[in-house]
Chains A and B, each alone.
Chain A
């Protein structure tokens, strides 16, 4: 008897697990019976946007307790393909949907919620503080292999790339390599890993979002332009990208309200800046999916 009930419990647990795995999707049900906002919002994708989305999401649900909002990582590719498949309400991405093969961008609506600046970072021992754009390109394409060739120490350059298809890597290569192919090298799958490895590996170079700069590594100026928020806003600093929240079709009420909240002053003027992003309202230029920049 005892054994039987234990077994039965085990089976019940197993079947719950199986069923649970089967449908990790969002429902777009929002019963608009009263003014109180309700429904389920799932935002999945970019790990660069994840901390901001999670914090803003927590603030949003504090005010709208009936909305069930979930923020997950998984990568820009995951975000775009999941929102395209209709599995999630919001797909977070570091890159334009147009830039990704296999995504039908015309089916998706783009909501830009923040801007992220990125810069080359080097290990402090290399003795490098400024590089020319052409030099950065030569380093990442493997034509310069020692720091002494660009005025640093006699030390071999160790290139650390992000994984192929990563949004940060796409942004960096668009701005710096301009179509040239990067030399095959180490690949890491997160900003955090890059930060740790560059700060501890002599001669290492990689690139990071501004919010990941620490005093243990050296952010590099390019053509004597320093990587700062102000320089990104005027496009003097060229390596930056939008953080996108993509939706498919008409978003339901809860999703629309959350997107509106993301664009509100409460988020853009405080939360976005506190967390190391650049407010979309402060940008003095606009960049389109092809990389063409126009003054606002």
Chain B
């Protein structure tokens, strides 16, 4: 093959190698920012019996899930008496079942499971409970209460409710106020719950009307696309609730591109970029409602308490609760500093 030794071939070859070398250098994402974390002091730092906690979650393919893993790891590290066995995340039900079975066979003391799909993984929860390994079910709930000892998770309805109340209070003195909603992926039940909560809260304010709703799919790209169409459709409105801060990056980009700043925006979930924008207070984003990834840290606390047969510090009970729904706090300029370290990227 003469072409490969020709001068042209040599030139292209050198250029390709050079480009490759350049590109390899370009994959680095090192920056000075700390990852999402939790700084709250551990509830009961007194070391107790050694506990091995098995943790199985879905593939961390977006910021919130990544923060879940980070929170679990960093919390476990705070306890000298906790060993964390964390599995490679998977979105495949069968793969996740396999990983959990491995954890059961290893005879971990407690399991913390964030199922890729709660309904589909119920059986493995039951199996673990039958093998006398108590399960802390994180966020996506199993079908049967017998499949877990304790459920801890976020409140999607509450997110909508709190976003609606925040917007309602801001607009309560405004006649014929108009509100729009940029929802998340409509195929998910949680999106419907968020919307129901939002609508329920807005009912308390007869002067406010929700004039438009479009669903994006949690990606920046879809947030930009749907928001730019919403802005085109609604030449004036007073407030916007966006379900998710990741797609909010795209939504803010669309708002910027359209040159609009005549309304207030509330986000959802609690991403670091949203917290920073709220703190800087130089744009439309004024608040965000939490769906806190710190729940993974709390799940480790609960699992440790289970393993050591203790209750939760601060409550009178001898046992940990069977179910814990976390509060979807509204983070605005007033309290953003407190939450800053929990923001995920």
User: Does A associate with B in a complex?
Assistant: no
Which residues of A does B touch, CB under 8 Å? none
Which residues of B does A touch, CB under 8 Å? none
